[in-house]
Chains A and B, each alone.
Chain A
Amino acid sequence: MSSIDEVISSLSANSNAVTDLQGQIHGTTAMAEEMLKQLQEIGLQGKAAALGAVKDQLAACDAFAAALQNKLSEAMTSAAAATGQ
């Protein structure tokens, strides 16, 4: 079933892309955290609070990305199971 193999390899490529995206989001979150620390040190409370909300939002993004990754793995497993028959 070369067609199923193609589906699996396509899904695997997607999964790799999502992994890269997760890395990118992690980098962004780290940057936001560092800036949050700086803002708190300076004492800009309003900006720090706004950036704290941004950080939470980025954590939510990370959770979405992880869920997306899980879903793609599930799809790959299902496709591999379809090969068996």
Chain B
Amino acid sequence: MGSLNDLAAKIEADRAAAAEVAGPINSSKGQAEHTITAMIGLGLEGSAARMRKVVDEVEEAESLRAALEGALTKAHFMVMSAIQGNMGPGAPGSGAVVPLTRIDADGAPKAGLDAIPRHLRDDPVPTGEELSGVDPSIGPFQKEHENANADRRRGALSRFGRSAVRNTDELAGTTKQAAGEFTFDIEDDFDPWGSQAQAIVEVPTGQPPVFVSRVEAEGIKAGDLLSSTIVIAAFAFEAATRLSRKKENG
């Protein structure tokens, strides 16, 4: 961070320049005061009063200069702390004892070093359902009931399609269950000749060897096939009714 150091040096130089102006400003003030004394000696009261105003303004200028110097000192400190990480208590390596839990002005515990778990510190993040205004505590059937009148004006076909889409998971689950009772699974390692049977492959000389690999189906169940078909069918049905409605409407 060479350039940050340069910046710090530049600010320090500015501060020194601001400090250097202090002497001349004070000497201006001294001269003005001297002039006032001379004026009073000469009996020029009006001019002396005006000169007093000058002295006041020079004093104000001096206090402004001091403020400027202080501000530059602060800027220098800020650059130094940017270089070295945060200075002061609480900074890593400062050696200060940092309380694990800090207290707000209100008395509420503030985030210290993660002493308080996040779910207690902050309000819970709203879910998508809460944001869209649906009570997340109600079940799917109640949700369907809440929304029951929403598509009352649609045609019967369209309503059936929509409810099929909404309840696709239940429909699929039921189908899977029903189909599972009437189907049987083929064993994965179905082998009618027994494990001792050997296949002999003859390789003609001069030809590269032929590798035979056995492709095995892994646990495909009729219920899965049926239920996924139901899911696809529900979507296709809804899409078809929408398409037809669009054509009707123009």
Contacts and interface: CB of A to CB of B under 8 A. Distances in A.
Contacts of A47: 4, 82
B147 interface: no
Nearest to B50: A82
Contacts of B71: 57, 60-61, 64
- Which of A35, A61, A78, A85 is packed against the most chain B CB atoms within 10 Å? A61
A68 B68 contact: yes
Given A27-B10, A31-B7, A67-B64, A75 B20 contact: no
Interface stretch (B32-40, B124-132, B178-186, B196-204): B32-40
Given A64-B68, A68-B64, A58 B11 contact: yes
Interface in A35-83: 35, 38, 47, 50-51, 53-54, 57-58, 60-61, 64-65, 67-68, 71-72, 74-75, 78-79, 81-82
Contacts of B67: 64
B64 A64 contact: yes
Contacts of A20: 17
Interface in B41-88: 44, 46-47, 50-51, 53-54, 57-58, 60-61, 64-65, 67-68, 71-72, 74-75, 78-79, 81-82
B194 interface: no
- Which of A35, A68, A74, A85 is packed against the most chain B CB atoms within 10 Å? A68
B163 to A, nearest CB: 51
A3 B50 contact: no
Interface in A6-37: 6-7, 10-11, 13-14, 17-18, 20-21, 24-25, 27-28, 31-32, 35
B14 interface: yes
B21 A17 contact: yes
Contacts of B79: 51, 54
B28 A21 contact: no
A31 B11 CA distance: 10
A54 B8 CA distance: 10
A24 B12 CA distance: 11
A72 B18 contact: no
B233 interface: no
Contact of A4 (B51, B53, B58): B51
Given A14-B24, A35-B3, A57-B74, 18 more contacts: A3-B31, A4-B51, A6-B31, A10-B28, A14-B61, A21-B14, A25-B72, A28-B10, A51-B82, A57-B71, A61-B14, A68-B68, A75-B28, A75-B61, A79-B32, A79-B54, A82-B47, A85-B47
Interface of A: 1, 3-4, 6-7, 10-11, 13-14, 17-18, 20-21, 24-25, 27-28, 31-32, 35, 38, 47, 50-51, 53-54, 57-58, 60-61, 64-65, 67-68, 71-72, 74-75, 78-79, 81-82, 85
